[in-house]
C-alpha cells in the first residue's frame, strides 16, 4: 500500500513539473506575440525568411497546447480514481462548458482588450473544454472503445483535408468548429474567431485519458518502457511520414535555398488545427520526458512545479499582465486611446500596430521578467487552493 502511494506521489510531481515547464515556455510565445516587432505581421516559421533563434522561439512553444490538452485527459483519469463514472462524467461536462464560456467572455476580453466584444475568440481553453465535454459524454463506454475513438481521430482527422480542398473554403459553421480555423460573422459588427477547431484536440484528450491507466495500473519500470516505446515510435513515425510527404499534414515540405531552410520547411507542421504530424512531433517527446524524469525533489524542479499546479490562474494572469504592458507601450509611442480602441481591420486585437515592437532579445528579457513576477502570484494561489479545499468552485479553476 505504501508503494502505491509513493508511485502516485511521484507521478503527480512529474506532471506538475512538466506542466510548469510548459507554462514557462508558453509565456515566451505570448510575449513574442505582444512585443516582437514582427509579432502581428511576420511568420516566424517561414523557411524563406526565418532565422534559427526566431524559428526556435516559435517552434519550441508548439509543445504547449498539445501538452495541456493531453494532460487534461490524463488528469481526468486520475480524478476517476476517486469518483464514480457518473460523477466524473458530470464534472467533466460542467467544467468543459465552464471553460468554453470562460474563453468566450473573460479570455476574449483579456486577449483582445475589446470591451465591446467585436470578436469572441475560441482558443486553447475552448479546445480543452470541448474535449472534456466529449470525454464526459463517453466516460461510461468501455476503456477500449474510448481508446479506439481517440486513435481514429488522432490518425484519421487529416482525411478531412482532402474534402476541404474540394470545397475551396466554402464550409458550414459546424465544420469550421470541428476542423477549420477562421472567422464567422454573428450579428452587427460581432464575429466569432476560431483559432482552435476542436476535433483533433478532443481526440488527444481521449488518448490522454487512456494514458492515465499507465499511471495507476502499471508498475513504474513497465510504465517507463511503454512511455519510451510509444514516445519514440511517435517521433520515428513523424520523421518517416513527413519524409514521404503524402499524408499527415496539409503543408508539404520542400527543398529550400540551403539545408537549414529545408530543415525549417520539414519541421513546419500545421498547428491550426493540429495535424497528425504536429501531434506526433510534440506528444512523442512529452511521453519520453514523462518516462525519463526522475528527480522532482530538487529546488529548481519544485519552483517550476509551482507554475504547474495553478495552470488556469497562470494562464489568465500572465495574459492580463502582458496585454496591460503592451497597451502601456502602445500609448507611450504616441498613439491615443481612441486609436487603440478602434483597432485595425481584420485584426481582433486592440491597441496593436503591426511592425511596432522590439527586437527578439528584448522580448526574451520581458519574458523572463514575466515568469519571475508570476512565481509569487502562483505560489500564493497554490497555497490558497491548498488551504481552502472545502470551496467546491476551486475545482473548476
Q: pLDDT tens digit string along 99-117?
A: 999 999 999 999 888 888 9
For residue 6, pLDDT beyond 70: no
Q: Which residues contact 219 (CB under 8 A, 6 or more apart)?
A: none
Q: What is the torsional sign of CA 242, 245, 251, 253?
A: positive
Share of the chain above pLDDT 70, in %: 95
Q: In terms of C-beta density within 10 A (0-12 exposed, 13-18 middle, 19 or more buried), how is residue 311 classed? A: buried
The pLDDT value recorded for residue 12 is 65
Read off the pLDDT band of 233 (50, 70, 90).
very high
For residue 143, pLDDT beyond 60: yes
The pLDDT value recorded for residue 391 is 75
Rg (CA), the chain: 21
CB 172 within 8 A of CB 39: no
Rounded to whole angstroms, the Cα distance separating 174 from 283 reads 27
227-253: average pLDDT: 96
- Joined grid coordinates for residue 249: 499534414
For residue 1, pLDDT beyond 50: no
Rounded to whole angstroms, the Cα distance separating 18 from 30 reads 19
Q: Torsions phi, psi of 191, nearest 5?
A: -140, 155
200-212: average pLDDT: 97
For residue 11, pLDDT beyond 50: no
Q: Among 190, 189, 156, 161, which residue's Cα sits nearest to residue 175?
A: 161
Mean pLDDT for the chain? 91
For residue 10, pLDDT beyond 50: no
The pLDDT tens digits for 316-342 are 999 999 999 999 999 999 999 989 888
The pLDDT tens digits for 283-301 are 999 999 999 987 778 999 9
Share of the chain above pLDDT 90, in %: 74
Rounded to whole angstroms, the Cα distance separating 317 from 378 reads 9
Q: Which residues contact 255 (CB under 8 A, 6 or more apart)?
A: 262, 265
User: Which helix or strand (DSSP H or E) is residue 85 part of?
Assistant: helix 85-102
For residue 7, pLDDT beyond 50: no
pTM of the model: 0.93
**Pairs from 227-231 (Cβ < 8 Å, separation ≥ 24):** 227/287, 227/288, 227/290, 227/291, 228/287, 228/288, 228/291, 228/292, 230/284, 230/287, 231/283, 231/284, 231/285, 231/286, 231/287, 231/288, 231/290, 231/291
CB 18 within 8 A of CB 66: no
Rounded to whole angstroms, the Cα distance separating 389 from 79 reads 15
The pLDDT value recorded for residue 169 is 65
The pLDDT value recorded for residue 3 is 38
The pLDDT value recorded for residue 189 is 82
Amino acid at each position: 500500500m505504501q508503494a502505491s502511494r509513493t508511485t502516485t506521489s511521484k507521478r503527480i510531481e512529474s506532471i506538475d513539473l512538466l506542466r510548469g515547464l510548459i507554462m514557462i515556455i508558453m509565456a515566451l510565445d505570448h510575449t513574442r506575440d505582444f512585443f516582437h516587432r514582427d509579432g502581428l505581421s511576420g511568420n516566424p516559421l517561414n523557411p524563406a525568411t526565418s532565422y534559427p533563434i526566431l524559428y526556435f522561439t516559435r517552434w519550441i512553444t508548439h509543445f504547449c497546447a498539445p501538452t495541456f490538452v493531453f494532460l487534461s485527459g490524463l488528469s481526468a483519469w486520475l480524478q476517476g480514481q476517486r469518483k464514480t463514472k457518473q460523477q466524473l462524467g458530470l464534472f467533466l461536462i460542467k467544467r468543459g462548458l465552464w471553460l468554453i464560456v470562460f474563453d468566450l467572455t473573460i479570455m476574449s476580453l483579456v486577449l483582445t482588450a475589446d470591451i465591446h466584444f467585436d470578436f469572441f475568440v475560441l482558443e486553447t481553453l475552448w479546445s480543452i473544454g470541448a474535449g472534456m465535454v466529449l470525454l464526459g459524454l463517453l466516460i461510461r463506454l468501455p476503456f477500449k472503445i474510448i481508446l479506439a475513438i481517440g486513435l481514429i481521430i488522432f490518425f484519421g482527422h487529416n482525411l478531412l483535408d482532402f474534402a476541404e480542398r474540394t470545397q475551396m473554403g466554402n464550409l458550414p459553421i459546424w465544420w469550421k468548429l470541428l476542423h477549420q480555423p477562421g472567422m464567422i460573422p454573428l450579428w452587427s459588427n460581432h464575429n466569432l474567431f476560431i483559432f482552435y477547431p476542436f476535433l483533433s484536440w478532443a481526440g488527444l484528450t481521449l488518448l490522454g485519458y487512456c494514458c492515465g491507466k499507465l499511471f495507476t495500473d502499471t508498475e513504474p519500470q513497465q510504465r517507463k518502457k511503454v512511455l519510451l516505446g510509444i514516445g519514440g515510435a511517435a517521433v520515428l513515425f513523424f520523421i518517416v511520414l513527413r519524409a514521404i510527404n503524402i499524408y499527415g499534414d496539409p503543408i508539404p515540405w520542400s527543398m529550400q535555398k540551403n539545408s537549414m531552410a529545408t530543415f525549417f520547411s520539414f519541421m513546419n507542421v500545421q498547428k491550426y488545427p493540429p495535424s497528425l504530424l504536429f501531434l506526433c512531433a510534440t506528444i512523442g517527446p512529452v511521453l519520453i520526458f514523462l518516462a525519463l524524469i526522475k528527480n522532482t525533489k530538487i529546488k529548481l524542479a519544485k519552483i517550476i512545479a509551482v507554475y504547474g499546479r495553478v495552470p488556469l490562474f497562470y494562464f489568465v494572469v500572465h495574459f492580463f499582465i502582458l496585454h496591460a504592458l503592451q497597451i502601456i507601450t502602445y500609448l507611450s509611442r504616441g498613439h491615443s486611446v481612441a486609436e487603440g480602441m478602434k483597432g485595425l481591420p481584420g485584426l481582433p486585437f486592440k491597441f496593436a500596430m503591426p511592425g511596432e515592437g522590439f527586437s527578439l532579445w528584448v522580448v526574451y528579457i520581458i519574458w523572463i521578467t514575466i515568469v519571475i513576477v508570476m512565481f509569487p502570484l502562483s505560489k500564493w494561489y497554490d497555497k490558497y487552493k491548498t488551504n481552502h479545499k472545502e470551496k467546491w468552485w476551486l475545482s473548476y479553476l
